[in-house]
Copies of this chain bind each other. A is one copy, B any other.
Amino acid sequence: MADLVYRKIMRDLKERIFNQEFNDKKLPDERSLSESYGVSRSSIKRALNVMAQQGIIFKKRGSGTFINPLYLKNQSLFNYEGTNLGVTDSFHLDGKRPGIKLIDYQVIPASKELQQDLFLEPDDFVYKIKRLRLLDDEPIIIETGYIPIKIMPGLTPSVVKGSIFNYLSEIEGKSVTKSFMSILAEPSNQQDQELLGLSDKEPVGIMEGIFFLDDGTPLEVSNMRVHYKYLKYNTFVSLDEE
């Protein structure tokens, strides 16, 4: 995976950009890069395309390829890219210690809506998993997730106290790489206020969506009510399609 030609070139170019090797903010043209790396122009293009999509560089037909000055000044922004899929993963920030408190865990019949979203039959069952996520013992997210039992028949309360996505990839070799998400905000309700320690004037952010396995199977419907101070969704949007 990591030894693909175009990935090696990406890594190297990022490194060189970081080291200010191209001080006029302009990269060498594709044909030169192709020659100096000893690879085809297509592979160079592929590397550059991915980097352009990540916002690291801009390509301008007829004149060249340029470094996004923001990337130099604020590289940390670019680490949020593609953004938080797993939640445990995205909040390791600031050296704080993440924690999970299990609030509710049961197996229930899938509702109509869950049947739709997870592509289940009327007699299928799902785990309902409600957890409180903490950062240095401070509660920040109330997370309610629904996972079909037929996808994870071996799910146990002890697994649920950790990262389900990590369990999936380490133990079952399945990986979660795609999701639909909606992000919105609401006044906090009483439960939010109790569990997250909010006043009645403080809101929650809501991230709800569906997570998919890499083969397209919908894995989980998730609803996260986030302490508003911890809701920050960073994204780089490109309207090109490729």
Contacts and interface: CB of A to CB of B under 8 A. Distances in A.
Interface in A203-242: 203-205, 210, 212, 214-216, 218, 228, 231-242
B210 A186 contact: no
7 contacts: A82-B238, A85-B237, A179-B237, A181-B234, A182-B232, A183-B231, A185-B205
A98 B178 CA distance: 33
A122 interface: no
A17 B108 CA distance: 33
Given A55-B180, A228-B184, A232-B184, A83 B201 contact: no
A103 interface: no
A58 interface: yes
A49 B53 CA distance: 14
Contacts of A185: 185, 203-205, 228, 231
Nearest to A180: B236
Interface of A: 46, 49-50, 53-55, 58, 60, 66, 68-70, 73, 77, 82-83, 85, 116-117, 119, 177-187, 200-205, 210, 212, 214-216, 218, 228, 231-242
Contacts of A53: 242
Contacts of A119: 69
A68 B119 CA distance: 11
A95 B60 CA distance: 37
Contacts of A181: 234-237
A187 B215 contact: no
A57 to B, nearest CB: 8
A216 B83 contact: no
Nearest to A213: B58
Contacts of A70: 117, 180, 210, 218
Contacts of A232: 182-184
